């Protein structure tokens, strides 16, 4: 007969996705520490960030991914979707958990270059696959990017079928869009709701559109999801972050 000591405590993981808009707030100030404060208040362990500047003159030439990671005492994995001379612009995954970069590469793009990155995280001895991306602005481009991400080089890889898997990002796509529906065939969306409706994430000051999403496979059980809609979050970027809690299933 099992005793309480024999039953392992459930492992709850908190993940967050956040388009930080080059850490440029509604006051037009580039402030990565302010972004880090919004994230720190959430208590998230896995953070997906989009629109980060690294070495860009417009934001003071700093490495925003590293500044935010240092503030949170985490490690960052960065992928530059755009690289011009020494200036870079792209996305990052941050965590204090043991992590390994598996892949960081471009996605098919028809305008501004877009990309994705994939890390594997060790969560108390279990492997968690985490993806971060930022889709393009046209419907056809986003659909192509969604189909690519579901392919064998990314989410269709064998290790993602065997392990808990998260896909986070700014998809520039509302739930009724073609790209969203393509991903939803294979993964489940963690949908923050308010007053019976899905909560919007953009623009931050007066949210009207749900462009940011957290998707998960069936090896993760969603416990809760919410949009962070604090006064600081409304000021720090032009998007609001989404935070979601999951239980890792055996």
Q: Give the number of residues written for the chain.
A: 250
- 106 located within any domain: yes
Q: Domain span at residue 236?
A: 13-248
- At residue 6, the pLDDT reads 45
CA dihedral over 197, 17, 175, 53, signed as positive or negative: positive
- 186 located within any domain: yes
pLDDT digit string (tens) for 190-222? 988 765 678 999 999 999 999 999 999 999 999
pLDDT digit string (tens) for 50-75? 999 998 999 999 999 999 999 999 99
- 210 located within any domain: yes
Please tell me the least confidently modeled range out of 108-112, 134-138, 233-237.
Answer: 108-112
- At residue 4, the pLDDT reads 47
- 3 located within any domain: no
pLDDT band at 250 (very low <50, low <70, confident <90, very high): low
Dihedral (Cα; 18, 238, 114, 90), 10-degree rounding: -70
Rounded distance, CA 88 to CA 237, Å?
Answer: 19
> How many separate domains does the chain show?
1
CATH number of 149's domain: 3.60.10.10
% of the chain exceeding 90 in pLDDT:
87
Are 237 and 25 in contact, with CB atoms under 8 Å apart? yes
- At residue 77, the pLDDT reads 98
pLDDT at 246 over 70: yes
How much is the average pLDDT of 91-108?
98
- 4 located within any domain: no
């Amino acid at each position: 007969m099992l005793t309480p000591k024999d039953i392992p405590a459930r492992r709850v993981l908190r993940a967050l996705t956040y388009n930080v808009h080059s850490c440029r707030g509604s006051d037009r100030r580039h402030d990565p520490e302010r972004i880090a404060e919004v994230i720190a208040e959430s208590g998230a362990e896995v953070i997906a960030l989009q629109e980060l500047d690294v070495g860009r003159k417009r934001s003071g030439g700093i490495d925003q991914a590293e500044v935010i990671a240092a503030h949170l005492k985490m490690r960052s994995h960065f992928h530059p979707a755009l690289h011009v001379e020494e200036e870079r612009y792209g996305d990052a995954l941050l965590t204090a958990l043991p992590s390994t970069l598996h892949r960081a590469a471009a996605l098919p793009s028809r305008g501004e270059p877009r990309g994705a990155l994939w890390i594997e995280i060790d969560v108390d001895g279990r492997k968690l696959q985490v993806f971060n991306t930022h889709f393009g602005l046209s419907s056809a481009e986003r659909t192509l990017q969604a189909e690519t991400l579901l392919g064998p080089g990314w989410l269709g890889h064998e290790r993602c079928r065997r392990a808990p898997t998260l896909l986070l990002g700014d998809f520039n796509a509302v739930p009724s869009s073609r790209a969203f529906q393509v991903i939803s065939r294979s993964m489940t969306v963690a949908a923050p709701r308010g007053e019976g409706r899905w909560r919007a994430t953009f623009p931050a000051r007066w949210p009207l559109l749900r462009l940011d999403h957290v998707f998960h496979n069936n090896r993760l059980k969603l416990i809760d999801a919410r949009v962070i809609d604090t006064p600081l979050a409304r000021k720090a970027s032009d998007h609001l972050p989404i935070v979601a809690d999951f239980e890792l299933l055996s």
